[in-house]
Amino acid sequence: MKIMVFDVPAQNSGALTILKDFFIYVSSRQYDDIKWIFIVSTDILDCQNCDNRIKIKKYPLIKKGWLYRIFFEIFKAPLIVKRYAPDVILSLQNTAILMTNIPQILYVHQAIPYSVKKFSFIKKDEQALALYSFIFRYLIGFSIKKASTTIVQTKWLRDAIIKSHNVDGSKIVVLPPTINFNDTEGSNEGKRSHKFFYPCTPFVYKNINIILDAVEKFKACESCPEILLTINGRENPYAKKIKKSVVKRGLSNMIIFIGRISREKVLSLYSISTLLFPSWLESYGLPLLEAKLMNSKIICADTPFAKEILCSYDKVVYHGVENADELYQEMKKAIEVDSGNSEFVLKRSRAMKEENNWEKLINLSKSVMQ
């Protein structure tokens, strides 16, 4: 059996994490009855130890822009499918492959088209999101109807898709992502109680503004927190707007732009900080699961996806999505109370282990041939 995995858009953030973790899982196991072909644009997949069961085909040109992506989807992808003749297509890129009758499993992890808040075509920092939402709502809807089975990461997204596209709910399966990481050793550099960490991308729904509003209230306090953001402030109009606001409001001593960092560094920072997660739109929110498995303290916005992921977790507190004062109060409490997270290394390996759903995804891919 030959399974072709498409994920050419994955270049950073959660999409790349999903691709990399799935590849690690597949390459670390012996599937005598499956041959794999990964169609990607990234160089991050390491196949040095792979045997002839796994092939990686790279198409980096799609990184150049939307026109290249459209050309690839309409013309190139169908030709690739025809050339390699897979038995099943597993699309991790939210959309199905066009012009082929080969059975497809569709993995949808894009929530932007299903946002309750509508993005503006007028506001400069929302224009790209508004266009993306408009186009992909139709593309995802078409793809779901074309696919044999659709995989989503949360129940809330499943419900939103069913409502939006009026599709058969039995064809949509909820499989939360599986996190692949070793027992990462935490850093011992300083105490965690004054440090907050928000692994984010520079989009308006990440709600970074509320952090600035909350942090400004600390200017009158003796203890000032340090908030680490994984943006550099130059990526797009929204990032530049945030950076300008930080400087204008005199928050540069508390808001630290560390830029994009490695996955290993992200995991390490969970050990010395409290996770902030004010985002109001996510298909899942991987940092929530990662921090949960690390036994870290979490302060996050009160959203359906957060409640679903952290439903039984006892080290999380919530704040209103637009309530900066609630966020400030919870940050202040985190500074005042030592949560004892220095023990996270021992706890993490013995505490919660999320269910491994990669095998379920593979079995679903195999089942469409039966």
What is the pLDDT, as a whole number, of residue 45? 79
pLDDT in tens, 267-289: 899 988 999 999 999 999 999 99
Q: Specify whether 94 is located in the same domain as 202.
A: no
**So what's the pLDDT on residue 321?**
95
Q: Which of 333, 281, 327, 284 is nearest to 309 (CA)?
A: 284
Residue type, position 34, single letter: I
In a domain, residue 183? The reply is: no
Judge if 51 and 165 occupy the same domain.
yes
> Quick one: pLDDT at residue 238?
94
- Residue 256's domain comprises 195-350
What is the pLDDT at residue 73?
86
Indicate if 9 and 148 belong to the same structural domain: yes
One domain, residues 163 and 199: no
pLDDT at 281: 95
Q: Is position 257 within any domain?
A: yes
Distance CA 92, CA 53 (A): 19
Cα Rg of the chain, angstroms: 21
Residue 315: inside a domain: yes
152 and 200 fall within a common domain: no
In a domain, 188, yes or no: no
What's the number of domains the chain is made of?
2
The parts of the chain modelled with pLDDT lower than 70 are: 48-49, 181-193, 222, 338-355, 370
**Are both 268 and 225 inside the same structural domain?**
yes
**Is residue 189 domain-resident?**
no
For position 239, which CATH number holds?
3.40.50.2000
Q: What is the DSSP string of 36-101?
A: EEEEES-S----TT--TTEEEEE-GGGGG-HHHHHHIIIIIHHHHHHHH--SEEEE-SSSPPSS--
Taking the CB of residue 50, how many other CB atoms lie within 10 A of it? 17
Q: Are strands 35-40 and 2-7 parallel, antiparallel or unpaired?
A: parallel
Q: For residue 101, give both structure tokens.
A: 């009758």
Whether 52 and 162 share a structural domain: yes
Q: Are residues 65 and 133 in the same domain?
A: yes
**Is 18 in the same domain as 114?**
yes
Residues 20 and 144 both lie in one domain: yes
What region does 49 belong to: left with phi over 0, alpha with psi -120 to 50, or beta?
alpha
pLDDT of residue 352: 46
Residue 150: inside a domain: yes
**Residue 344 belongs to some domain of the structure:** yes
Residue at 286 is within a domain: yes
Which pairs from 332-336 meet CB under 8 Å and 24+ separation? 332/218, 332/221, 334/193, 334/196, 334/274, 334/297, 334/299, 335/193, 335/194, 335/223, 335/225, 336/193
Residue 171 shares a structural domain with residue 236: no
Tens of pLDDT, residues 284-313: 999 999 999 889 999 999 999 999 999 989
What pLDDT was estimated at residue 82?
A: 92
Instruction: Assess whether 25 and 127 both reside in one domain.
Output: yes
The predicted structure's pLDDT at residue 74: 84
pTM: 0.87
CA–CA separation, 300 vs 292, rounded Å? 12
